[in-house]
């Protein structure tokens, strides 16, 4: 079995090849187009199991090195996400540098689609933070290597409800581990970030009688959560330290770090955000030492990937939801593996993912 890679990509990393070596990336593509203003990075981490699939994130990064770091970390997570979910996909991710509210338009997305097309199927894109199914329609005008299209076009549409369902299943599995029952009735959950996935997650939790606390930078989303689900609104600064049963990070990554872990009063961390651990080794071990059950992000949030992957065989929502429900069992399996190996849950999940990739390398070597 290959050695577990737990290095984080430092924000100050300027040596591209050193960064790619530390994370074992195959290829990084820089895309620029003067006419449309497009600046994008496509990071392809590993294609042993299949073509690299991962969404396109559009974000106004303060520095280009932050965009590169995001692409490298997110694409690596996609490799492990696909592997643990049992999908025949590799891992990749794209980031477009810019404000999606002011810079995104048809021309920019179609130009990006042409860059995707030039990779000849090695990278398959989809929507992500800052992009929508409509944007994927524009991309699809230039390449067939795109999923997450509207259901009217034979696609799976918005994957966020399926992602949220998988997170909900992971929360229930974590409750089973912590409390001996997966019932969430009467439990308290703090959800940080109530975008598309977070809002759907609130609906699942509310239906089970959970006491909800929410934070976000979007005031209208907070108002909707309070009105529709009786959620208590708190600040992003305060939500980490709330005395609750479960903390669900559903915003951007790096939320579990030296500063925040010391404030935690929860028993379980289980949320939809990618790359929640600022450093997988240090902070994964720290959570383990504190007795906090951590659901590895790339395992619990795999529902969206499962949803778009199901488009390959003719999309059926019920089938995607059924496969996503299995995240419950996968999470419990990871917890058991971690205990047997005496490692943190993130390390156990990576070991599981890398073993499947290693095994398939043996299979593919005879092709």
Token pair belonging to 253: 């990554």
Sequential DSSP letters for 63-109: SHHHHHHHHHHHHHHHHHHHHHTT-S-EEEEEEEES-TTTT--HHHH
Token pair belonging to 132: 């929508």
- Catalytic residue status for 281: no
Q: Give the residue carrying structure tokens 């409750």.
A: 175
Judge contact between 184 and 244, C-beta under 8 A. no
* Sign of the Cα pseudo-torsion (302, 307, 308, 309, in order): positive
Whole-Å CA distances, 158 to 117, 259, 322:
22, 34, 17
Report which of 77, 31, 35, 26 is spatially closest to residue 54, judged by C-alpha positions: 77
Token pair belonging to 335: 């917890």
Assign 3-class secondary structure to 215-238.
Answer: ECCCHHHHHHHHHHHCCEECCHHH
Catalytic residue among 39, 65, 81, 93: 93
Q: How many angstroms separate the CA atoms of 169 and 182, rounded? A: 9
Strands 211-215 and 232-233: parallel
Q: How far is CA 360 from the centre of its chain?
A: 23
Element (DSSP H or E) covering residue 236: helix 236-239
Judge contact between 146 and 116, C-beta under 8 A. yes
Strand, coil or helix: 324:
helix
Q: How many angstroms separate the CA atoms of 313 and 315, rounded? A: 6
Q: Backbone dihedral region of 296: left (phi > 0), alpha (psi from -120 to 50 degrees) or beta? A: beta
For the annotated catalytic residues, the residue numbers are 93
């Amino acid at each position: 079995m290959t050695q577990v890679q737990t290095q984080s990509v430092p924000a100050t990393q300027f040596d591209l090849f050193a960064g790619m070596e530390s994370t074992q990336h195959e290829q990084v593509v820089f895309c620029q187009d003067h006419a449309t203003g497009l600046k994008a990075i496509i990071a392809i981490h590993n294609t042993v199991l299949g073509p690299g699939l991962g969404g396109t994130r559009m974000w106004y990064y303060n520095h280009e090195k932050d965009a590169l770091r995001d692409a490298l970390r997110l694409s690596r997570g996609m490799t492990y996400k696909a592997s643990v979910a049992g999908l025949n996909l590799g891992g990749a991710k794209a980031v477009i540098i810019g404000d999606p509210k002011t810079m995104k338009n048809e021309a920019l997305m179609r130009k990006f689609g042409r860059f995707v097309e030039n990779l000849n199927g090695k990278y398959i894109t989809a929507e992500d933070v800052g992009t929508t199914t409509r944007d994927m329609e524009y991309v699809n005008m230039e390449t067939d290597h795109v999923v997450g299209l509207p259901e009217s076009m034979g696609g799976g549409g918005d994957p966020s409800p399926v992602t949220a369902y998988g997170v909900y299943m992971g929360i229930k599995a974590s409750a089973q581990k912590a409390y001996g029952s997966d019932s969430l009735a009467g439990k308290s959950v703090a959800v940080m970030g109530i975008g598309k996935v977070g809002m759907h997650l609130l609906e699942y939790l509310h239906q089970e009688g959970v006491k909800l606390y929410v934070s976000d930078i979007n005031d209208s989303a907070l108002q909707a959560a309070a009105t529709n689900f009786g959620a208590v609104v708190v600040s992003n600064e305060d939500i980490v330290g709330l005395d609750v049963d479960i903390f669900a990070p559903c915003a951007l990554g790096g939320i579990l770090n030296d500063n925040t872990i010391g404030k935690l009063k929860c028993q379980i961390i289980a949320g939809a955000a990618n790359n929640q651990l600022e450093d997988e080794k240090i902070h994964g071990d720290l959570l383990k030492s504190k007795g906090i059950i951590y659901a590895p992000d790339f395992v619990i949030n795999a529902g969206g990937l499962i949803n778009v992957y199901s488009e390959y065989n003719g999309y059926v929502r019920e089938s995607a939801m059924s496969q996503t429900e299995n995240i419950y069992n996968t999470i419990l399996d990871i917890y058991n593996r971690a205990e047997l190996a005496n490692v943190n849950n993130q390390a156990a999940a990576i070991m599981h993912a890398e073993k499947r990739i290693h095994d398939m390398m043996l299979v593919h070597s005879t092709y």
